[in-house]
Amino acid sequence: MMRLIVLTAALGLAAIAPACANRSGDQSIAEYCADPSRAQEDVCEVHAEMRSNDLSLGERIGQAFGLATDARDRADRAQSTADNALAMTSATELTCVTRALRNQQVGTCDPGYTLTACTQTRYTTRSGGMSILRELSDERCRFNTQVLEMQVRCCYAGPTPPPSTSTVSAPAPRSPPASTARPQRPPTS
């Protein structure tokens, strides 16, 4: 008897199963959910949410690719500009000189030269130690106080540089006083 009940239940399930599996026929989920009366069904709500996420994700990916393309274009333009600058620099001669300035607060270059670097090279604690560089431009550099010695690097781009003074200093230090000792007589024989 028990076998008959199990057999009948199995046959009943086998008859009902195809009907459940083929509920929407051969429609896709999009076609099934296109009917407005089914919009509130769970399957259709999940489908609608996934579609909006797909569109949103697609827009984000498009924006990311757009940004990447824009960055690549800018990088290509920057590389082109750098290549042109390098070609121009290679074609022209670059002449640089270093000026050593003593007991000055402001460092400058000779006319026609462009200031490219400025540094304090000598200092003592007695004279105040390191100074602070307050200004640096193409024409001059300025420290907050007078420095014992600074070096100013000046460059000129072109075939014939203007004359320059490589070292400029404050007035020469005083020479030591002459000796007041009497001259010695040559030995007599």
Q: Are residues 151 and 118 in the same domain?
A: yes
Total Cβ atoms within 10 A of residue 173: 8
| pLDDT over 60 (residue 38) | yes
Identify the pLDDT of residue 118.
92
Lowest mean pLDDT among 121-125, 126-130, 150-154, 178-182: 178-182
- The region, left, alpha or beta by phi > 0 then psi within -120 to 50, assigned to residue 128 is left
Give the mean model confidence (pLDDT) for residues 14-24: 58
In this predicted model, which residue has the larger pLDDT, 87 or 36? 36
Q: Where is 184: in which H helix or E strand?
A: none
Identify the pLDDT of residue 151.
92
Rounded Cα–Cα distance for residues 154 and 162 (Å): 12
Q: Are residues 60 and 83 in the same domain?
A: yes
Rounded Cα–Cα distance for residues 73 and 2 (Å): 79
In this predicted model, which residue has the larger pLDDT, 46 or 23? 46
Q: Are residues 132 and 74 in the same domain?
A: no
Question: Using an 8 Å Cβ cutoff, are 119 and 77 in contact?
Answer: no
Give the mean model confidence (pLDDT) for residues 22-38: 74
Q: Are residues 41 and 81 in the same domain?
A: yes
Give the mean model confidence (pLDDT) for residues 161-174: 55
Q: Are residues 116 and 143 in the same domain?
A: yes
Question: Using an 8 Å Cβ cutoff, are 96 and 155 in contact?
Answer: yes
Residue 103 lies in a domain: yes
Identify the pLDDT of residue 30.
80
Residue 13 lies in a domain: no
Q: Are residues 74 and 124 in the same domain?
A: no
The last residue of a domain, from among 91, 125, 140: 91
Residue 12 lies in a domain: no
Q: Are residues 99 and 150 in the same domain?
A: yes
CATH of the domain at 138: 2.60.40.4230
121 lies in which domain range? 94-157
pLDDT band at 152 (very low <50, low <70, confident <90, very high): very high
Q: Are residues 80 and 116 in the same domain?
A: no
Question: Using an 8 Å Cβ cutoff, are 150 and 98 in contact?
Answer: no
Cα(first)–Cα(last) distance of the chain, in Å?
162
Residue 53 lies in a domain: yes
pLDDT (tens digit per residue) in 46-99: 888 887 777 677 777 888 888 888 888 999 998 988 888 777 666 567 888 898
Residue 170 lies in a domain: no
Give the mean model confidence (pLDDT) for residues 159-175: 57
Q: Are residues 85 and 124 in the same domain?
A: no
| pLDDT over 60 (residue 180) | no
Identify the pLDDT of residue 4.
75
Residue 168 lies in a domain: no
Q: Are residues 82 and 105 in the same domain?
A: no
Number of domains in the chain: 2
The pairing of strands 140-157 and 133-136 is antiparallel
